[in-house]
Amino acid sequence: MTKRDRIEELTKKLKEAARAYYSTGEELMSNYEYDAMYDELVKLEKETGIVLAGSPTQKVGFEVVSQLPKVTHALPMKSLDKTKEPEALAAFLGLEEGMLSWKLDGLTIVLTYENGELAMAATRGNGTVGEVITTNARFFGGVPLKIPYDGHLVVRGEALISYANFERINEKLPPEEQYKNPRNLCSGSVRQLDSRVARDRHVEVLVYTLVESDRDTEEFHDSKEEGLKWLQSLGFTPVGYKMVTGGTVEEAVREFSDEVETMPYPVDGLVLTLNSFSLSASLGETAKFPKDSIAFKWQDETAETTLTEVEWSPSRTGLINPVAIFDPVELEGTTVKRASLHNVSILKELKLGLGDRITVYKANMIIPQIAENLTQSGTLQIPDTCPRCGDRAEVIKREDVEVLYCTNPGCPAKLVRSLSHFVSRQAMNIDGLSEATLERMADEGFLNGFADLYRLKDHREAIEKLDGFGEKSAQKLLDAIEASRHTEMYRVVSGIGIPGIGEAGAKVLQSAYAGDIAALRAAGEEELAGISGIGPVTAAAIYKFFRQEDNQTMLDDLLSFLTIEVKSSEAPQLLKGKTLVITGSLNHFENRDALKAIIEEHGGKVAGSVSKNTDYLVNNDLESTSSKNKKAKELGVPIISEEQLLEIMQLPQ
C-alpha cells in the first residue's frame, strides 16, 4: 500500500468514526485506536504534502443530523491541538500563567443569557452549526434558569452524566439496549426530542469558558480564573482546575492523574489555557486550533500479554457477550485479567485467536480494553451453540453491529437473569437469592417463571439438601419470599421486565394509577404517553407488553400470589417545589436511593450538585469541609441533618 493509499484509508475511517461520535454518540473505535490513526495521518500528510478533501486534520466535527432546530454559533468552536508529553505543556506556557482543568468527556454545549434569563442552549454540533436544546437544558443540573446579571452572556460548558447515574440507567435496560459509556448516554439524553426523557437522565453541566459578556474583561483583571469565579457567583458550577506556571504544570498533571479514579464524571485528559483574556485574543488561531489552549492526554499505560480464553456470557435477553481473558498484567496500579469485547464485530476486527499476543490498556485510566492484537491469527471460533443451554446460537446484525444471540426462548440463562432482576433490591427485594442460587434451583426444575418463587415452599426438603442450605437457611429464604408477597405496584412493575421501565419509571406509573396494576394493564397507549415522565416510545413498549398473551398469563399467575397495596392518598407534599442535595453518610436510611425515594414521595426533587437553586443540602456532618458543604455555605444554602429533614417531613426519627 502506498502512502497515498494509506492517507485515503485513514481519512475515510476517521471521518466515519467522527461522524458517528459527533452526530449519534456511537463509538466505532476506541480513543486509543482513533488517536493512533489520527497521529499517523498527521505524519503522512506532513511527509507527502497530500491533504485530501474532508481530512479530519482540517475539518472539525461533522454535520448535525438530528431533527432538532439548528443554529449558527456566533463564535465557532475549534478543536484543540494535543500532546501526551507534560514537558510540552511547560514549553507551551513559557513565562505565562495558565489554567489547567479537566478535559471532560461529555457533550459541549453553549448557554446564552439575555436580561438574566436563559435564552438559548445549543450543542457544539460541527463547531459552526449546533442544535438548539433549550427546552432540555432547563432540566440540566448546573444550568441556572435565571441569573443575577441583566446583560448579554454566553458561556461554554460540558454536559455530563456521572458514572453512578450511567450505571443506574443501564441497570434498567436489557443488555442490547444498554449504553456503552456515559458519553453515549449523555449525547442521546442532551439531544432528546422528548424533554421528559432528558429530565429523567440527570444530566449535569460544568462550565469552563466565559465566551461573551457585556462586562469588559478588565473587570476580571484580565484573568480567565476571575471570569470563572464570577460565573460561579451567578450559579454555575465550574470545572475543576489548578492555576499553573511553566515550573508547576508537570506537578499539577501528576496531581490530576492521582484524582482520575475518584472523579464522578468521565474525563479523557486535561486542558491548558492561558489565563490572560487579552493575550489569548492577540494570539488568534490556526485553521483548526486556537493558539491559546492545548489538550493533554495521558500516555496510555499498555501491557503486553497473552489471550488465554474468550468467555461467552449469556444475558436475560438472549445476547451472548464475549469477554477476553488474558494472563494478568499490572495497569495503573491494579491487576487486570479481563476486558469486555462488547460484540462479535469488535472481536472480528481484532482478528483474535487463543494464544495471540495482545496489548491492553485502561481507557481513561479506568476501563480495561484491548488496544492491539500483535499476532492477528484470526483463528477464534465463534460458538454456534449457547454455552448455557446448548441450543443453537446465531450471529445476527443489529444496526450494523454483529452480535451472538441464543435462539432458545426457554434458555435458562434468560430465565436466571430475569429472576435475578425480579428479586433485586430495586424490584421485589427478596434476600438470599443470588444468581448462583437461582441457577441451581432452575437446574433442579424448581423455577420456570416468576410465580414459581412462591411455590418454592413445596420444595422445602429438597432446598434444605442443596449445598449452602440447611433447615434454618431454607426457612429464612422462604420467610423472605413470603414477606415479599405483600408489596407495592412499582416493585412488581419494575421486576417483570417491561422494556425501558426500571424503578424510577415504575414509581411514576404507581403514582399515576395510585398503585392499581389492573388500571395500568388496561391503559391505552395514548393515555400512557400523557403521563409526565413516560414518553411515547416507552408508552408504546408498556402497551405492547401488557397485550402479549405470554405476559398476560405470566402476570395472572404471579398476581395470584401477591397482595398489592393500592394507595388512595399520597404522602403530604411538604417538600413540594424544593430541591435537595444529599451528601455524606446516612444514619436513618439504608442508602441515598432510599432517602431520595422518601424525598420524592413528599414532593421534593433530588439534584446531584449544589447550586443557587438548591433549597437544602442534607449532610449529617454539618461542619464538613467537603466541596458540597463549601459550595452551600458560599451560596447561603441551609445545611441540614437527616433528623432535621425528618422533622420537616413530619416523620418519626
Active site residue 103: yes
- Give the per-residue pLDDT at 66: 45
In tens, the pLDDT along 447-462 reads 888 999 999 999 988 8
In the structure, what pLDDT confidence band is assigned to residue 64 with cuts at 50, 70 and 90? very low
In the structure, what pLDDT confidence band is assigned to residue 65 with cuts at 50, 70 and 90? very low
Q: How far apart are CA 66 and CA 136, in angstroms?
A: 15
Q: In this structure, are residues 131 and 70 in contact, taking their beta carbons and an 8 Å threshold?
A: yes
Q: Which span out of 11-15, 22-26, 299-303 was modeled with the highest average pLDDT? A: 11-15
Mean pLDDT value of segment 503-524: 85
Greatest alpha-carbon span in the chain: 83
In this predicted structure, the answer to whether residue 544 has a pLDDT above a threshold of 70 is yes
In the structure, what pLDDT confidence band is assigned to residue 569 with cuts at 50, 70 and 90? very low
Q: Are strands 393-398 and 579-582 parallel, antiparallel or unpaired?
A: unpaired
In tens, the pLDDT along 196-224 reads 777 778 899 999 999 989 888 778 888 99
Mean pLDDT value of segment 576-583: 87
State which amino acid sits at residue 200: D
In tens, the pLDDT along 223-259 reads 999 999 999 888 888 999 999 998 899 999 888 887 8
Q: How far apart are CA 95 and CA 303, in angstroms?
A: 37
Residue 290 grid coordinates: 486556537
- Residue from 381, 402, 405, 410 nearest 394 by CA: 405
More reliable by pLDDT, 260 or 419: 419
Q: Which has the minimum average pLDDT: 17-21, 43-47, 371-375?
A: 17-21
Q: How far apart are CA 293 and CA 410, in angstroms?
A: 57
Which one of 12, 15, 103, 507 is the catalytic residue?
A: 103
Mean pLDDT value of segment 260-271: 85
In tens, the pLDDT along 129-155 reads 888 888 888 888 888 888 888 889 999
Q: How far apart are CA 28 and CA 18, in angstroms?
A: 9
Please give the order of strands across the beta sheet that includes 117-123. Answer: 117-123, 107-114, 153-160, 204-213
In this predicted structure, the answer to whether residue 32 has a pLDDT above a threshold of 90 is no
More reliable by pLDDT, 569 or 156: 156
Task: Tell me the three state secondary structure of residue 588.
Answer: coil
- Residue from 393, 340, 394 nearest 369 by CA: 340
Residue 480 grid coordinates: 423472605
Mean pLDDT value of segment 303-321: 85
- Give the per-residue pLDDT at 325: 93
- Residue from 297, 299, 301 nearest 267 by CA: 297
More reliable by pLDDT, 12 or 588: 12
Whole-prediction pTM: 0.52
Task: Tell me the three state secondary structure of residue 62.
Answer: coil
In this predicted structure, the answer to whether residue 99 has a pLDDT above a threshold of 90 is yes
